[in-house]
Amino acid sequence: MIIKELPKEIESLPRARKHFTSWSGVGYYEEMTQLWKEHQVIHVAKSDSRLANNELPLDIQRLRCRALYSALRFSPPIERLGKKLVELLRTRAKRYVALHLRYEKDMLSFTGCTYGLTDAEAEELRVMREKTNHWKIKVINSTEQRIGGFCPLTPKEVGLFLQALGYPPSTLIYIAAGEIYGGNTRLSELKSYFPNVVFKEMLATPELREFANHASQAAALDYLISVESDVFIPSHSGNMARAVEGHRRFLGHRKTITPDRKGLVEIFDQLEAGQLDGSSFSHLVRHLHKSRQGAPRKRAGAPLGVRGRARSRLEESFYQNPYPECICSSRTRVRK
């Protein structure tokens, strides 16, 4: 059970304070067990996803999934509105694609990705990065970022990508994101391929006004709508994208297409240079993503030869792929 405030009988009791260490292993659970024995209240200063991904006992891994997908819930108003928005989308089309379009100012500034932007826009992003104290890297080579596959796809690239995969122009696309950098001008590059694009604000429900100035609550609605979509496509592999992918895997490996951004850059550039026709472009994109559509697979470990702390950092996140520990064999069928 999740509560907003501590019960009065224990709110004044001394409490333990716990700071997590990144990629904590079994020792974390042993320490927490001892803390629970000694205190009735434990203050966790910060958690994020700081637990180890692999090499933990099976019962602990399954406990994590029970917490993630059974115990933790959004507040009732968010759950109700999320369900209503999904129903409204279903009245517009039988199926819809949820696109986590991370083409937002903060993401572009943080990653240093300025491909396709004007000089003034690139400078605006540089200044924002320079003034954001907790962003440690200030000087970024945008070209190297893009070639390395570290940039979110642009709206135009998403349109080309979906078209190459065979989605018709009538496809209903729900944009799970904040304000798109460049506004309607940039978004029109996607709409030229897929005009049937909607945001939650366009569904015009009165209840939505309550969440208008609360970014985290608005993101929670995007999360719920993305989990329930027929297809989920993230344009960048951020925390929300990974969490949605993992949740969809838990629910039966619902179709999630994760763009190979590094591979796509080369293909996009060939198309732009006139070295590929539409048919060849589509063939290459489909071949590149044949095994990137959410089919059951075991969670990836660190690359061979990597040791120590770097090994834990480079493992695939448990929250992105809780298979096989938390998914019964009867639930591994992929939903088309």
Find the distance separating the first CA and the last CA of the chain, reported in whole Å: 34
Q: What pLDDT was estimated at residue 182?
A: 93
- Residue keyed to tokens 């993992």: 246
Q: What pLDDT was estimated at residue 219? A: 92
What domains does the chain contain, in order, with CATH numbers? Answer: 16-71 (no CATH), 76-103+152-331 (3.40.50), 104-149 (no CATH)
Question: In this predicted structure, what is the pLDDT of residue 308?
Answer: 75
Tell me how many degrees the CA angle 272-285-228 measures, rounded to the nearest 5. Answer: 120
| CB 145 within 8 Å of CB 112 | yes
Spell out the per-residue pLDDT of the chain, length 336, in tens.
Answer: 567 788 888 888 888 888 777 778 888 888 888 888 888 888 877 665 668 888 889 998 999 899 889 888 898 989 999 999 999 999 999 999 999 999 999 999 999 999 999 999 999 999 999 999 999 999 999 999 999 999 999 999 999 999 999 999 999 999 998 899 999 999 999 999 999 999 998 886 787 888 877 888 889 999 999 999 999 999 998 889 999 999 999 999 999 999 999 999 999 999 999 999 999 999 999 999 999 999 999 999 888 888 877 788 888 999 999 999 988 765 555 555
According to the model, what pLDDT value does residue 49 have? Answer: 60
Confidence (pLDDT) at 18: 81
pLDDT at residue 40, rounded to an integer: 83
pLDDT at 128: 97
Nearest to 122 by CA among 141, 136, 149: 141
Provide the token pair at 122: 């690139």
